[in-house]
Amino acid sequence: MNVPAVVQPAPVPATVSRARRRAVIFVPGLKRRERNQQRDALVENLLLNEDVPLRRSASDGDEIKIAGTAGVRLKAARTGTETDPPAPGEIDIFEAYWGDQLPVDAEQQPLRRMTRGLALLRYWFVSPMWGAFSSTSWQIPAGLLLGGGALVLWYLSLLATFAGQWLDPASDLTAQAKQLMSFAPWLADWLAVPIAYVASWRIWPLISLLLPITPIMVIVDHAQAVRLLLTNAMDEKGIGRRARVRKAVADVLSAAAEARTSDGEPAYSEIVIVGHSFGTIILIDVLADWPYEAELAKLSVVTLGSPQSVLARRSSWLKEETRRLMQERRVSAWTDISGEDDYLSAPIDGHKAAYGTACALTLSLEQSGLPFSTSAHDAYLASYEVLRLIVR
């Protein structure tokens, strides 16, 4: 008697498993925001995305806890078609927040900006970064140049305002200026006339008061913060700021990689790290020396609006770590996105050669066309192409 062979069902490919769970870790940029503010913006944009319908998970409470942070869980409302692979069954969205590691006074105290301003000017303007005008993004160094000019103008307004307290406008200003500079007669002969001319302007006190709160000074504030991080400047406790920021981001990545289900299995079949703006620099710093090779296999990276190609001209460690990451292809999948109307971004050095042109995207973010506007730089999380990368 012949017994028919039992036909075993074909295994379901892992890529279409309905039980997949993905962790998405967002690494924000320099712009100071509240913790999880950008995580929540990403969640809302994903919920409004028409490509793959998602909904909030009601069964897991308001937030998903892992060590050091909390996330929001989304579930696919419907699966994909035969030709369109489904999204993961569940997506947990986290934010690797590091804004609290920056000195608040770098953005809010004008007097501290004044005392550190000369070091800032020396760091940025006496450097090889000006080569970026012709090789990568001319707009980033141009923005720094504009910010540096604003900083010099602010210094000048303070000096002119101070001089105006000593000079009598009813008398000969040139003679008074020479008297003020009597300690250096040779210098007074050169500068007395322009000092008297500048001091005669009555607008200087207004400039010294209003310039620190104008949008152009945001560039100066960010340039100061970038300098502190790239140089690993010490904080008031003698700890490097770059080291602190790197640890804050690495801790969230470690927590997601080590998370386990109640059965002891890894909680996430894949982890997507999304870095924006200066967050891409921190991400490069973390991944270049990530010691757990097995975790890199389920890791994919999306970088948005990176300034790496310009900042690498000022930072040797950033240039070397980027080169090593791309040469070794430590991460299996990496998509780099820049905006054609985003003056703060440019393609990451070596990325296209390492991962191919299909993984190097330039988007039209269709924001304000005003020069040096940051509206395009802040628009990535609302982009259809970016959201599609996160849910696919």
Domain contains 124:
yes
| pLDDT at res. 378 | 84
The predicted-structure confidence for 267-276, as pLDDT tens digits, reads as follows 998 999 999 9
Q: How many domains does the chain have?
A: 2
| pLDDT at res. 140 | 66
Which residues are CB-contacts of 166 (< 8 A; sequence separation ≥ 6)? 176, 180
- Locus of tokens 């270049």: 288
Domain contains 2:
no
The predicted-structure confidence for 219-268, as pLDDT tens digits, reads as follows 677 777 888 889 898 888 889 999 999 999 999 999 999 998 888 888 99
How much is the mean pLDDT over the chain?
Answer: 77
| pLDDT at res. 37 | 94
Residue ranges of the chain with per-residue pLDDT less than 70? 1-19, 58-62, 78-88, 104-148, 155, 158-160, 162-202, 204, 207-208, 210-219, 366-374
| pLDDT at res. 139 | 63
Are 135 and 49 in the same domain? no
Share of the chain above pLDDT 70, in %: 61
| pLDDT at res. 9 | 37
What is the C-alpha to C-alpha distance for residues 260 and 249, in angstroms, rounded to an integer?
Answer: 20
- Locus of tokens 């550190």: 116
CATH of the domain at 274: 3.40.50
| pLDDT at res. 38 | 93
| pLDDT at res. 54 | 86
Are 73 and 130 in the same domain? no
Q: 179-214: string of b/e by CB count within 10 Å (b at 16+)? A: ebbeeeeeebeeebeebbebbeeeebeebbeebbee
| Domain boundary, last residue among 181, 205, 230 | 230
| Enclosing domain of residue 23 | 17-102+240-391
Are 140 and 266 in the same domain? no
Are 255 and 375 in the same domain? yes
| pLDDT at res. 301 | 96
Domain contains 3:
no
